[in-house]
Each structure stands twice: as structure tokens, then as C-alpha cells.
Amino acid sequence: MTQAISLRKKLIKTSMLSSIVAGLIALLLLVGISIYHTMKVQDQIMDEVADMLLKSDLSQNSGSQLDELSDEFDIQYQLVNGQQLLTDSTESAADEIDTEKKHVAQKRMITDLQNGYDIVWIDQRLQRSYQATDDDSKLTVNMLQPLSVRFKDLTQSFFTYLAVLLGLWAVQWGVLHFSVKKQFKSIQQLSNEIAGKNAQDLSIIQQPQPEFQELQPMVNQLNQMLTRLDQALSNEQRFTADASHELRSPLSAIQMRLQVLKRKYQDLPELQPYLDNIQQDIHRGTQVLENLLLLARLDPSDDSELVKTWLDLEAITQEVLQTLASQLREKQIQLHIENEELKVYGNEELLFICIRNLIDNAIRYTPPEGNIYIHLGYLNNWELFEIENDGEGISPEVLKHLGERFYRALGTKTQGSGLGLSICKKVAELHRGQMHIEASEHGGLKVSLYLH
């Protein structure tokens, strides 16, 4: 599965990358322009020093000025006439050099430098060289200046600018993070509103303020879908209720005619089994209709619409067991009840129907002389009604579908509508609870009803 991408992180990342690229380009341009400007200014200084040497009378004052310029800009110079050294700088601005080194450097300057400006490798460092010749006096000036001296101030400016740039990027990241997070609150509010929609609330979604034009098409499509879904659910509920009402009358008429037939042919015992089978089918059909009507009534319901009071769940369970006592005796089923005083805030009618369905379902699928286990109590702040029964085991495939409407396991001979557990699940939801279905250690089914 493709990993989801965070739009918020992507926006921040894209904005920061754009800013970093723009900042680096600006930094490179600044460095390039600064290098060009520095080289031009320093070359002009070397040219001025060369002019002073070529035109100077080499008096004490002129020599002093040249030494000051040489020291200030770390420039080494020689003034030569042919092979004769007339004057030179006494020291390098970068470091002191001994006489032997000075002699070697001077010789290099005389023999190695080219006329004009150049960059040479002398004394294990890159240096800017300049050689100028006066055609009239035949004097030649050789000059050297380390490139590191030229770019010393530039390097400091570069790191200062870089530090400022890093600080600005950090501030920008913080501002972007805060701004994008604030803007995405509207999207989170929209997400929460969509998540809050259910069968009881399919009203249109209002986009939170400020509205985003990019989200409007999606919101419009969602609203159209909610409208269609609301209409479809209403039609389904109306059809279920109308069909159940329409079928109730024919079933009642068939029931009456069957009773007439049983009285009329009571002297023919060979007909009674067939009539009893018809009676069971009519009873099952009536149960299905009653359950459908109940589901049609519960589906659009909201828990806030229910009339609720504090109820004794143990008393309701005992009342249900009394109504089903004949079925228990008929199959000789043993009841094992473990209970404690259990108070539930709920609707008495719906809880009675729910517990009756669960116990009736257990009786139907428990073998003769089997056992049914009922537990009432509290578990982690939940009110718990738990029922399980003996059986021959339930396959995981069947267990997965239990609770779905009209689902009945293939091959079962037990009659039922396939709606009982669906009703119980809906009742649990209306009481802000849950219903868990699992295989029982006794071989049958274990149903746990958690209520608040």
C-alpha cells in the first residue's frame, strides 16, 4: 500500500526548499560580485603602487609611503633596472621572511612573472602578481599579493551573510509551520464534520471559515452524495415499513383460515402434521415481519430520542426467562446464571426485546439437555450482559457473518428470521454500547452486550 503523503509537511518542505535555493543563488551571486569587485579594487591599488615606484624619486618620504602601502595591503614589490635591484619591500604583510627566502622570492619575481596581472603559486600559496615596465626609463616593477589577504574580509562577510541566512531560514520555518498549521485547522474542522455524519444526520456540510475555493468542489460533491444517501435510506425504510404492513394482513387472514381448517378437520389426524407445519411457517413469517417493522423503526432512531430510565437488568432477564420457560422445559436445558445487582440507564422495551432475542437464540441452538450460561456484571466501566451455550462448534466463516441481516448458516435446521442479532446490535448502538460475537468454550456461541 502506498504511504500517505502529508500535504502540510509537503507545503512546508516545498516552501523551504524554494527559499533555500533562492538564498543560495543570491549567496553565489553575492560572492561572485564581491570577488570581482575585490579583485578590481586590489588590482587598482597594485597599479597605483607600481606608478608610484616608477615615477617616484625614491626619497625617504616616498619610500615611507610605499612601505605603508606595502604593509597595509601585504604587497611585496621590487623595482629593478635590467638585472639590478634598485629597491624592494622589506617584509611580507602576511609573515616575516628571512633573507634567503627573500632572495629566492625576489629572483622568482624577476625571472618568473609575466607582464600584467596573473595568478601564480609562490611560497606554497596562490598570489596575485603584477609586472609593469616604464618604456622611457626601462624600469620594471614586480609585485606579489597573497589572495588570502584579498579575501580575508570577504570570507568574514560571507560567513556573516550565511549566518544571517540560516537565521532567516529558521524564522521562516517557524512562521511557515505556524501559518500552515493554522490554515489547516479549517480542513481539520471539515474532516471532523464529515466524520460526525451518520444515518441520523445526513445534513449538508458547511465549509468552515475562511472558505477555501479549492475545497468547494469536493464539499459540493459530498453534499450531493449525502443528499442521495439520505433519500436512499428514507426510501429503504419506507419500503420496509410499507411492505411489512402490507404483508401483515394476508398473514393474519391465512392464520384465521388455518384455524378454521384445523377445527373443521380435527377428526382427520393424518392432516394435523401438515397443518402444524403451515402454522409454524406462518408464525415464522409473522416474526420476520415484526422484526422488519422493529428495524424500520430503529434504523433512523437516535439515542437522544429514546425514553430512558434506570432499569434493573437482572429483573428484565428474569422476566424474559419466565416468558421462555416452556421452551426451556421442552428441551430440558439447564440454566447457569451468575449475576450481581446491575443497573442500566436505557429503554425498557428495547432492552427487553434485545435480551429476549439473545436468550431465544441460545435456546434454539442449544442441543436438548444442554446448558446455557448467563453472566451479568460490570467490566471496565461497562454494564455487561453475557450469554453462551453448548454446541457442536462454529466455523470462523459462519462466525464472521453472524449479526448481518437475514444471515443464517447453511444446513441449519433451526428456524429463525436471521434478524435477531441484527436487532440486538442496533439496540446496543442506541444505548452507546457494543455487541461482541465469538465462539464459546462450551462449543456454542458467546454474545457479550456492553452497555453504558
Mean pLDDT by 10 residues, the chain (452 residues): 73 89 90 89 86 67 60 78 74 41 47 76 84 83 85 82 90 88 79 78 74 79 88 79 75 86 84 82 75 68 75 92 91 90 87 90 91 92 92 83 67 62 86 90 91 84
Name, in order, each residue with C-beta under 8 angstroms of 369's C-beta and a sequence gap of 6 or more: 331, 332, 333, 334
**Assigned fold of 305-451:** Heat Shock Protein 90 (3.30.565)
Q: How many other C-beta atoms can be found within 10 angstroms of the C-beta atom of residue 71?
A: 14
pLDDT recorded at residue 328? 92
Return the CATH number of 7-154, one of 1.10.8, 3.30.450, 1.10.3470, 2.60.40: 3.30.450
pLDDT recorded at residue 95? 42
- The answer to whether 225 and 204 are in contact (CB under 8 A) is no
pLDDT recorded at residue 418? 67
Tell which residue, 408, 429, 335, has the closest CA to residue 375.
335
pLDDT recorded at residue 252? 84
Q: Does the domain made of 216-298 have the CATH classification 1.10.287.130? A: yes
Tell me where in the chain the CATH 3.30.565.10 domain(s) lie. Answer: 305-451
Tell me where in the chain the CATH 1.10.287.130 domain(s) lie. Answer: 216-298
Tell me where in the chain the CATH 3.30.450 domain(s) lie. Answer: 7-154
pLDDT recorded at residue 67? 65
**What are the grid coordinates assigned to 404, written together?**
448481518
- The answer to whether 219 and 207 are in contact (CB under 8 A) is yes
